[in-house]
Structure 1
Amino acid sequence: MVEQNVTSRPGRGGRQRILAAAMTLFETHGINATSMEEVASTAPVSKRTLYIHFPSKDDLVVAYLRHVVEAGLTMESVLDRQDRTPRERLLELFTVPDNGTGLIRGCPFVDAAAEFPDPDSPAHAYARQQKQRFTQRIAALLSELGAAQPDILAEQLAILADGAASRAMVLNDPTCGQHARAAATALLDAATA
């Protein structure tokens, strides 16, 4: 969760306050259920300030998704851990994180793509780009492991990770990750035998 500093002087850090407010509201209520007026009120900034920084909701959603990536708040961030082997990093994708609220949140990219179904919309296109990048990063780790057909296995593991995250969110059940991890382990064992 991003810290919000709503006590800042007006005009100072408006963009950061807007992103912090959007993150909280999008994660709590969903993207489409959150209006730009709610974001401005929560930030707090004027609607004019909001629209100067983010001329459209699509712009705000893409900025939110970029922030999530840059802050390491995605399941993909475990792939960067240098204190784990490539295999451990891949299997860590199936650990459903506890955000401390009792509610399990799914993948923000899947959420954005679902709420912006037009594949040409900026939010959907950015979500697609991140999902493709995710699969490429998995394939690179699989190549390090010497896995047979790393691109195909990467797609399978990405589908498992996305499915586990979505199912865990829908059921509010972190054990979904354990079941997907067992399947991923079997796939890894077969590909690296």
Structure 2
Amino acid sequence: MATSETTAAAPRGGRGARERILRAAVELFARDGIHVTGIAKLTDVAHVSTRTFYQHFPSKEALVSAYLQRVASDSEGPVHIETVLERHDLTARERLLALFADSPPAKVVRGCPLHNATVEAAGTMPEAAALVERHKREFTERLIKTATEAGAREPESLGRQLALLFEGARALSTSLNDTLPYRDARELAEMLIDQSTRAVSQLPPGLSGK
């Protein structure tokens, strides 16, 4: 199994060891899974000793937590699509729908690495699970805020519905190895948004809050 060019070319040990371990985790956890990837494989790809590994990460769970923080903030990673909610060049409605854009063609649809990590951990990594839960709740709050900007009559309900739709599309795309669920989800999202915003515009004067 080939390693990345960056980690393969790195010197063993020395400065930058923590970053090399993190890069190895990003590569191996996403491709092979967290449980399958052992410390020996991580240290081999990162070109560090086991001792050096534990100097930077006291446990594998500590590395998993650092890995999740890294992928959640990666400007080019699979979680980056969520940042479309912060764009200022799109209307609130456009930002909500942009979440459901088709992913670029890929041999394997990986889905959300945060969700995948939670499924793999299955309650055995509470620190990592708490990090994922916090991220998902914050994402839902951002959806609710954007739904409010879009003029939804019940933005909290719409935000939670869109979160469910988005997460479901990501999970099903991973299971089917197909991005078609995103297209189906976008159609449903458009219906939900239109129904919610239309409900406001069609209320009698004095009841719409405007």
Shared fold per TM-score greater than 0.5? yes
Q: Mapping of 1:1-193 within 5 angstroms?
A: 4-9=6-11, 10-72=13-75, 73=77, 74=79, 75-98=81-104, 101-118=106-123, 121-193=126-198
Matches of 1:46 and 1:18, distance apart in 2: 10
Larger radius of gyration: 2
Shift of 1:55: 1.0
Shift of 1:163: 0.6
Query: Would you say how many aligned residue pairs link Structure 1 and Structure 2?
Result: 191
Q: What is the percent sequence identity of the aligned residues? A: 40
Moved over 6 A (4+): none
Matches of 2:124 and 2:152, distance apart in 1: 32
Amino acid across the alignment from 2:191 = A
Normalising by structure 2, what TM-score? 0.84
Aligned 8 A contact 2:165 2:185 in 1: yes
Shift of 1:134: 0.7
Deviates further, 101-110 or 58-67: 101-110
Shift of 1:85: 2.0
Shift of 1:48: 1.2
Matches of 2:5 and 2:86, distance apart in 1: 23
Shift of 1:69: 1.6
Q: Do the aligned partners of residues 119 and 47 (structure 1) sit closer, same or farther apart at CA in structure 2, a change above 3 Å counting?
A: closer
Amino acid across the alignment from 1:44 = H
Aligned 8 A contact 1:96 1:168 in 2: no
Amino acid across the alignment from 2:33 = G
Aligned 8 A contact 2:7 2:45 in 1: no
Normalising by structure 1, what TM-score? 0.91
Unaligned runs of at least 5 residues, structure 1: none
Shift of 1:7: 3.2
Shift of 1:76: 1.4
Deviations 1:84-127 (A, max 9, x none): 222222112112422x6421111111111111222871111111
Shift of 1:81: 2.6
